[in-house]
Amino acid sequence: MSALNRFETPSDKAFNVVLVVLLSLLTVIVLYPIWYCIVASFSDPTKVLNGEIWLLPKGWNLEGYTNVFENARIWTGYRNSIVYTLVAVAINLTMTVLAAYPLSRSDLKGRGPLMLIAVFTMFFSGGLIPQYLIVKALHIDNSMWAVVLPTALNTYNLIVMRTFFQSSIPGELYEASHMDGASNTRILFSVVLPLSTPILAVMFLFYSVENWNSYFNAMIYLSDKKLQTLPLVLREIIIQSSAQDMTGTDPNATQRMMQAESIKYASIILASLPMLILYPFIQKFFVQGVMIGAVKG
């Protein structure tokens, strides 16, 4: 490394300095909102509303977390979101692999038109009303399946995984496996998937975040409060805590406004926590999988 540094020109050093500064600034821009929410969730809501919070909590306060955890529906929402996310991710990965693998094979007849049809769905859809009518016709409304099945396959993720298979799995492996008498199914499970850990980890993260934050489908199809997901429960808690006497005669209006501010930031942290915990465990695969799957091929 020291030998390389000796050959750096002044312009190279200036470029490196500018690059470090820009990346540091970008890191601050990305991380500060998360840090601010954490700090605000432990601070006095009056100081938050007055703009006194910057880097450290002021007026240590746990009322927001206390109010959120006292609501039994929080735990129901957490349980539902975890179950829905796990089931949905299992379906998502299965559908994506089973679609991407044959579309990555050059010996699949008609893969061009099939890929065109898949890409077409990225830009055009039937809309909300036809989808709602289909869900009603299948009698899966007000159930977990109404949330997980309409988003069973993401076309962009399909393209990324197909590209990974094409660029990262040598064709010689397919030929050798066929010569040994392996079927396409055996090749997929014994050859392709063991070599696809990076892209599978990336898809797991993408689908986990997508399903954990799923809000719209749950709001449309789930009317039973016992089936609602965490985002819906947190939304209702925030709305209820923010309700004030519009006539201005409620003496506790200010107190409720402060309470709502605490609950808002505590809810943001609680909703984000599972994904923040998950990411470090698969971060080492993330860059490799995305770069190979999205750039090559």
Mean pLDDT for the stretch of residues 5-14: 74
First to last CA, the chain: 32
Q: What is the pLDDT of residue 85?
A: 92
Per residue in 63-75, pLDDT (tens digit) is: 878 877 877 788 8
Element (H or E) spanning 34, and its range?
A: helix 10-41
d(CA 157, CA 154): 5
Say if 20 falls within a structural domain. no
Say if 6 falls within a structural domain. no
CATH number at residue 171: 1.10.3720.10
Say if 194 falls within a structural domain. yes
Mean pLDDT of the chain: 81
Say if 235 falls within a structural domain. yes
**Joined tokens for residue 133:** 């009518």
pLDDT at residue 296 above 70? no
pLDDT band at 252 (very low <50, low <70, confident <90, very high): low
Structural domain span for residue 252: 72-295
What's the number of CA atoms in the CB half-sphere (13 Å) around residue 293?
Answer: 23
pLDDT at residue 2 above 60? no
One-letter identity of residue 271: A
Number of structural domains (the chain) is 1
The more confidently predicted of residues 231 and 242 is: 231
Q: What is the DSSP letter of 295?
A: H
Q: What is the DSSP letter of 141?
A: T
The percent of residues in the chain predicted with pLDDT above 70, rounded, is 86
pLDDT at residue 251 above 60? no
Say if 127 falls within a structural domain. yes
Say if 154 falls within a structural domain. yes
Say if 96 falls within a structural domain. yes
Say if 163 falls within a structural domain. yes
d(CA 92, CA 208): 10
